[in-house]
């Protein structure tokens, strides 16, 4: 298990890290690092065209990915917390957006996520710490078995027994409840 400073240093070095979130263990990287995104896609054996969620601890963390200020009132109606919004994206890497015109954003209040994002100085990629189609491990040992060499942060899950809700900001459609 790694400290906050080791996790943030790994993110800045382009590594993939694992960390506890509100409901499941997450895996992520620096969303501006194309090589790290490719590595994460490969590690998870992720299908092409799938987008990632970005998590942050402050609204400003999302400003280079989406028009957050103009949507602030609606976004904050369910943030911070385990709610993911699909928001019209700015010009971003198709590795992040899956080639779609939206980006998934979550403003977290989970202690470890907030610490990572604050120390990192921005949003990070967040995806469940599993290979596509497989169950997410319930603990850090399970993550290290599936992904040897991944730095796993010390911490606890937030107690939510499912992934976050995903809602389209523009249409109001709930994609995942």
Cα–Cα dist 31/44, whole Å: 16
Please give the CATH number for the structural domain made up of 4-176: 3.90.870.10
44 contacts 130 by C-beta, under 8 angstroms: yes
pTM over 0.85: yes
β partners of residue 144: none
Q: Over the stretch 80-92, which tens digit does the pLDDT of each residue have?
A: 999 999 999 999 9
Helical spans, DSSP H, in 13-162: 34-44, 72-76, 94-97, 111-120, 140-146
Instruction: Considering only the C-alpha atoms of the chain, give the largest distance between any 2 of them, rounded to a whole number of Å.
Output: 43
β partners of residue 153: 2
DSSP 161: S
Q: Over the stretch 17-61, which tens digit does the pLDDT of each residue have?
A: 999 999 899 999 999 999 999 999 999 999 888 999 999 999 999
Q: Over the stretch 97-147, which tens digit does the pLDDT of each residue have?
A: 999 999 999 999 999 999 999 999 999 999 999 999 999 998 999 999 999
């Amino acid at each position: 298990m790694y400290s906050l400073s080791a996790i943030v240093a790994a993110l800045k070095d382009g590594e993939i890290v694992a960390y506890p979130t509100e409901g499941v263990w997450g895996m992520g990287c620096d969303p501006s690092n194309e090589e790290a995104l490719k590595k994460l896609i490969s590690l998870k054996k992720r299908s092409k065209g799938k987008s990632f969620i970005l998590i942050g601890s402050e609204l400003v963390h999302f400003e280079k990915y989406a028009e957050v200020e103009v949507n602030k009132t609606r976004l904050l109606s369910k943030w911070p917390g385990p709610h993911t919004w699909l928001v019209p994206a700015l010009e971003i890497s198709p590795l992040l957006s899956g080639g779609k015109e939206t980006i998934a954003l979550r403003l977290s209040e989970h202690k470890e996520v907030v610490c990572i994002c604050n120390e990192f100085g921005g949003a990070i990629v967040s995806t469940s710490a599993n290979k596509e189609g497989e169950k997410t491990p319930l603990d850090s040992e399970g993550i290290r078995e599936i992904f040897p060499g991944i730095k796993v942060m010390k911490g606890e899950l937030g107690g939510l027994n499912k992934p976050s809700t995903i809602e389209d900001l523009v249409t109001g459609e709930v994609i995942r409840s």
